């Protein structure tokens, strides 16, 4: 990471002008569907949430499967122009090609963002960056859909090299096949590592795409604010249930008002501004340590369940190849993250021991007072999972 550090020298949000400042609040529908929907949503936002500065709407929607609503396209840029004229809100949309960039610049769109499906493609990002050479416009880069910090940084670098200084990163969570209560797993360690490497880079959170449902928006947005994020992008629609994309996660302007009122924003008091950098880094470490403890707890709960399963099914015992596979995977992952082999080995061995202790405990609780099976008892301690 240290070799990546000097590659970005973004302008701090406070220097962006145009009323863009911390906390930067962005709201608007997932997609621009019709002129009436766009305008009604924008007016609702201005009325209910006057602190929102930027109106977002996807003009071209990258859909995972063909056949879904792909946005109204170029015609919607004129609707955004009308939003600006009638409400004074700045406008933002997603660009994925140089043609999108060109059309946005022609229509005076104020802020561009690169979506999670485009960020990981260096060709696309480079083409967008080339189209932006010499243009002074804020560009926000969403994290790639897979948890890869280097791809996120690489996209930011390409824009930076093309001369874009008003750069921001947007955390929208990561695709994750494991079970998660979120639509996209937040994996907070990634934005935290990005912020630690580039403290000047404004970091925003898109709680809508992380949460996937209104009920979890508050939790995600508050966590981002507690982690010192500079702002939020919240999908807001005048009639969420009728939305043509992401209907499950959008909220009405009235509910946006409630959400914003329920959040505690960090006060930009002189004290807060003078806050020692060391203290800030320590806060981030505390947050990561808490995340690690929670993940370890969840891991041990799983070990216990595996122990119960083995106990109940009298399942085969020694599985050294399973443990070897875990160790190899962790050594490979750790190596990529710059963690020493000895550290990984000691860490995983400690986890293994605790895991066995939990399995043994589950076993003993079950067999207490009964005669049990001596063969089970000798088996269980050797079992790596």
- Tokens representing residue 305 in the block: 């369940």
Shortest reach from residue 246's CB to Mn ion, in Å = 4
Q: Which of 166, 171, 183, 209 binds ligand PEP (CB under 6 A)?
A: 209
Closest CA to 109 of 175, 21, 193, 38: 38
Stretch that binds ligand PEP, among 98-106, 112-120, 307-315, 326-334 (CB under 6 A): 112-120
User: Which is nearer to ligand PEP, 143 or 228 (by Cβ)?
Assistant: 143
- Does 210 sit near Mn ion (CB under 5 A)? no
Backbone angles phi, psi at 232, to 5 degrees: -135, 150
Least Å distance between CB 171 and ligand PEP? Answer: 9
Give the shortest CB-216-to-Mn ion separation in angstroms. Answer: 15
Angstrom distance (rounded) from CA 385 to CA 364: 17
Stretch touching ligand PEP by CB under 6 A, among 67-75, 109-117, 213-221, 363-371:
109-117
Q: Judged by CB, which is closer to Mn ion: 157, or 246?
A: 246
Q: How far apart are CA 230 and CA 241, in angstroms?
A: 29
Please report the beta strands in 136-175, taking only residues with DSSP state E, as ranges in sequence order.
139-142, 167-171
Residue 158 or residue 172: which is nearer to ligand PEP going by CB?
A: 172
**Residue window 28-57: x/- pattern of binding to Mn ion, with contact defined by CB under 5 A:** --x---------------------------
Query: Is the CB of residue 371 less than 8 Å from the CB of residue 380?
Result: no
- Strand ranges for the chain from DSSP E: 24-28, 54-56, 90-94, 111-114, 139-142, 167-171, 203-205, 231-235
Nearer to ligand PEP, 118 or 228 (CB): 118
Residues 172-191 that bind ligand PEP (CB under 6 A): 172
Residues that bind ligand PEP (rule: CB under 6 A) add up to a total of: 8
By beta-carbon distance, which residue lies closest to Mn ion?
Answer: 30
* Cα distance between residue 246 and residue 68, in whole Å: 11
Q: Tell me which of 157, 246, 304, 383 binds Mn ion, using CB under 5 A.
A: 246
Per-position DSSP letters for 30-96, written without gaps between them: SB---HHHHHHHHHHHHHH-TT--EEE-BSS---SSTTS----TTHHHHHHHHHHHHH--EEEEE--
Where do contacts with ligand PEP occur on this chain (CB under 6 A)? 30, 58, 115-117, 142, 172, 209
Where do contacts with Mn ion occur on this chain (CB under 5 A)? 30, 246
């Amino acid at each position: 990471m240290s070799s990546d550090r000097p590659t970005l020298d973004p302008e701090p949000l406070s220097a962006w002008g145009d009323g863009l400042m911390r906390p930067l609040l962005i709201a608007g529908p997932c997609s621009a569907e019709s002129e009436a929907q766009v305008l009604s949503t924008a007016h609702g936002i201005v009325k209910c949430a006057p602190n929102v500065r930027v109106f977002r709407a996807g003009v071209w929607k990258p859909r995972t499967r063909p056949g879904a609503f792909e946005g109204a396209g170029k015609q919607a840029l004129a609707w955004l122009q009308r939003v600006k004229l009638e409400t004074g809100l700045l406008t933002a949309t997603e660009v994925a090609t140089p043609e999108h960039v060109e059309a946005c610049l022609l229509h005076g769109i104020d802020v561009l963002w690169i979506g999670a499906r485009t960020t990981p493609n260096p060709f696309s990002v480079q083409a967008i960056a080339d189209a932006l050479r010499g243009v002074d416009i804020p560009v926000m880069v969403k994290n790639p859909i897979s948890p890869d910090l280097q791809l996120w940084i690489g996209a930011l670098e390409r824009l930076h090299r093309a001369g874009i200084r008003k750069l921001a990163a947007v955390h929208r969570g990561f695709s994750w096949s494991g079970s998660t209560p979120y639509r996209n797993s937040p994996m907070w360690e990634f934005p935290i590592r990005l912020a630690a490497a580039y403290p000047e880079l404004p970091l925003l959170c898109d709680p809508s795409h992380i949460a996937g449902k209104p009920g979890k928006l508050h939790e995600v947005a508050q966590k981002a604010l507690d982690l010192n994020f500079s702002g939020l992008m919240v999908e807001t629609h005048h009639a969420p249930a009728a939305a043509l994309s992401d209907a499950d996660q959008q909220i009405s302007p009235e509910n946006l008002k409630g959400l914003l009122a329920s959040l505690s924003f960090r006060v930009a008091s002189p004290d807060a501004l003078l806050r020692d950098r060391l203290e800030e880094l320590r806060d981030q470490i505390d947050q990561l340590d808490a995340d690690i403890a929670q993940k370890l707890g969840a891991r041990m709960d799983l070990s216990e369940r595996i122990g119960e399963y083995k106990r109940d099914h009298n399942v085969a015992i020694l599985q050294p190849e399973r443990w070897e596979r875990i160790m190899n995977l962790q050594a490979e992952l750790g190596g990529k993250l710059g963690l020493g082999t000895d550290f990984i080995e000691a860490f995983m061995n400690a986890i293994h021991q605790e895991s066995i202790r939990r399995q043994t405990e589950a076993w003993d609780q079950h067999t207490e007072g009964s005669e049990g099976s001596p063969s089970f008892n000798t088996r269980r301690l050797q079992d790596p999972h």
